[in-house]
Amino acid sequence: MLAPATALLMCLLVLPVFERNWSTIGATLGAMAGGFILYPLLNLAKERGWLEFADLQVRVHCCCWASRSLCAQGLPAAGIMHELSVTS
pLDDT string in tens for the chain (88-residue length): 899 999 999 999 999 999 999 999 999 999 999 999 999 999 999 999 998 888 777 776 655 555 555 555 555 555 555 455 555 4
Tell me the C-alpha to C-alpha distance, in Å, between residue 18 and each of 8, 12, 60.
15, 11, 42
The set of residues, in sequence order, having a beta carbon less than 8 Å from that of 19 and lying 6+ positions away, is: none
**pTM summary value:** 0.51
The predicted structure's pLDDT at residue 65? 53
Q: Residue 83: which of 58, 59, 54 has the closest Cα?
A: 59
The predicted structure's pLDDT at residue 41? 96
